[in-house]
Amino acid sequence: MNLKPLILQSGADRRLRGGHLWIYSNEVDNKATPLKGFEPGEQVIVQDARGKALGIASVNPNTLICGRLLSRDLRHPLDRSLLVHRFNVAKSLREQCFDQPCYRVIFGDADGLPGLVVDRFYDIFVVQISTAGMEAALEQILDALNKVFQPQAIVLRNDGKMRATEGLETYIEVVQGEVPELAPLNENGVNLVAPVLTGQKTGWFYDHRENRARMQTLVKGKRVLDLFSYVGGWGAQALAAGASEVVCVDASVTALEVAAENARLNDGETRFRGLQGDAFDLCKALVADKERFDVVVVDPPAFIAKRKDIRNGERAYARINNLAMRLLNKDGILISASCSMHLAKDRLVDILRANSRELDRNAQIFAQGYQGADHPIHPAIPETEYLKAYFLRVLPSN
């Protein structure tokens, strides 16, 4: 490939040399290599201010993050060969960590493929592309997936919010094989299903796998409340682990229907109850009805999508955790999670502390959880470390 250069301003190469993959538009020497001279998704050779090559990146001249490093070896642009190599490297980690072929195969930057996410449900693969660079390589991505994994079916869930920022159209398309309405998966030894064509993101959230495994050890014979339950990732696994009753709360009727199916698959239909509506409102109603639970799971969507949302988002985390604590039995267990990268771990701890004290109770954190091994963390990119979960008992103050 005959690639054009993208020249950085003096000193702007420091972060890339430290391992980061992103280039911001204000770091480019726009006089030497004007960004408007590149097409979205085009691959370029990144050079420092002295002309030394740093690697190959994809470019989008219309976005704040205008470049994403794909390879530090000029002999290897993003093509089928490099994709096959990266897929094999990613596959080896997952096969080392998991005994079932159900996991996130590719986690963007952390697997050296910024803008690409691939989730695996046995032989059904769900692909999400969020950058112009990866969209330009779509055919090679599909070829490489077939070379490395031989999937039975592939669906493109290219309907994420980031695509609009990149100037990409949104669409959902089955490009290979047949995809059922509910795809089977296994997590922590529990058989489940996910709505990969119509559900949130890829249809399932594998990132809490290890936290759900810990939860399973705590719920036998217990009454469990699963807030923001989606399709019952927590609730169905609680039923499989012997919970006496699970109440799943979600705003989506269809999500709760899938949660009910996941309960049925685990012989838990008689111990399952779905409540449709706003989690805050339903929690207030449960408090008013003097309902109590032994375990409450708080796993909301990201209340803090951007830095400007931090203040309001922290208030939302405080409100829902306060309500959850009100619903706990004496010595009850709260599992409080956040997928907001902008919510620092110590702030979530502080929110839990403050709300337990407001209720004249003592919080005792006995375990911490993180994202699973199929969501590896890139040590130079803090954004790849986003998930946190705290397991705590909420005790009487005396």
Q: Is 46 exposed, middle or buried (0-12, 13-18, 19+ CB in 10 A)?
A: buried
Q: Is 385 helix (H, G, I), strand (E, B) or coil?
A: coil
Selecting among 102, 248, 283, 339, the annotated active-site residue is 339
Distance CA 73, CA 376 (A): 22
Q: Are strands 53-59 and 124-129 parallel, antiparallel or unpaired?
A: unpaired
Residue 283: active-site member = no
Can you count the helices (H) and strands (E) in the chain?
11, 19
Strand partners, 46: 6, 55
Dump strand ranges (E) for the chain. 4-7, 22-24, 42-47, 53-59, 65-71, 102-107, 116-121, 124-129, 153-158, 171-176, 183-187, 190-194, 223-227, 245-250, 272-276, 293-298, 328-338, 361-370, 388-396
The neighbouring-strand residues paired with 55 are 46
For residue 262, the 8-state DSSP code is H
* Rounded distance between C-alpha atoms, residue 206 and residue 204, angstroms: 6
Q: Which H or E element spans position 83?
A: helix 80-97
Q: Which of 334, 396, 315 is nearest to 360 (CA)?
A: 396
CA distance 173 to 135: 14
Question: Alpha-carbon dihedral of residues 236, 237, 242, 245, nearest 10 degrees?
Answer: -40
Which residues are CB-contacts of 10 (< 8 A; sequence separation ≥ 6)? 49
Give CA 34 to chain center in angstroms: 35
Buried b (16+ CB within 10 A) or exposed e, 210-219: bbbbbbbebb
Residue 362's identity, in one-letter code, is: N
Give the catalytic positions in this structure. Answer: 339
